[in-house]
Amino acid sequence: MTDTITVPLTDVRVARAVELVWREAELLDRKDYLVWQELYTDDARYIVPIDPDTEDFAGTLNMIYDDARMRAMRVTRMTEGYAIAAVDAARTVRTVSRFVPETVTDTEVVLRSAQVLIAYKRGRHDIWAADVRHRVRLSDSGDRIAEKVVRLVDSEDAVPAAGFLL
């Protein structure tokens, strides 16, 4: 576990990062995937690892390990044509909270948080809980996500397919 730093959530840099994370959650719940993908830097990674403790994402098996190309393909599948992931996607509501700044500089904030996602589909509710880490690049031209790591609490168990993004 990484030691936390003592930068308050009221620090303007941290507040900007938190606002970006909340914006991302809102876009995902609205299924506004085209706008969502614009929140990411060109070199960003979106990762859902299986091993809850790994930091070697490139060298281990992941549920998702998306660069810009793979994110774009995923968004295309979710938004165009007939894809079961898009046509029969669950409705979601997510809460992101318990923000803890891990590192803070004038150009980057790394935030840890907790996410609880409720998905509703065909009369059934599913709960997805995760520890999340966002690396946010701060810029006068717009803050962007440089990395998102979603560590599902049940990642080592059989995880059902999701017709939505975490």
Residue 134: in which H helix or E strand, if any? Answer: strand 124-137
Average the pLDDT over 8-16 and give the result.
93
Q: How far is CA 17 from the centre of its chain?
A: 13
Residue 165 lies in a domain: no
* Tally of domains within the chain: 1
> CA 55 → CA 52, 125, 162, distances in Å?
9, 31, 24
Q: Is residue 117 part of a domain?
A: yes
In a domain, 163, yes or no: no
Nearest to 27 by CA among 90, 92, 72: 92
Amino acid at 85: A
Residue 162 lies in a domain: no
Give the mean pLDDT of 2-6: 61
Residue 150, classed as helix, strand or coil, is strand
**Domain contains 52:** yes
Does residue 141 fall inside a structural domain? yes
Other C-beta atoms closer than 10 Å to the C-beta of 31 total 18
Q: Is 128 domain-assigned?
A: yes
Q: In this structure, what token pair is assigned to residue 60?
A: 């281990």
> What are 96-154's pLDDT values in tens digits?
999 999 999 999 999 999 999 999 988 999 999 999 999 999 999 999 999 999 999 98
Which CATH number belongs to the domain containing residue 55 in this structure? 3.10.450.50
Give the pTM. 0.90
Residues 30-69 pLDDT 10s: 999 999 999 999 999 999 999 999 999 999 999 999 999 9
Structural domain boundaries enclosing 64? 12-152
How would you list the strands of the sheet with 124-137, edge to edge? 62-66, 40-49, 144-152, 124-137, 108-121, 91-104
Judge whether 142 lies within some domain. Answer: yes
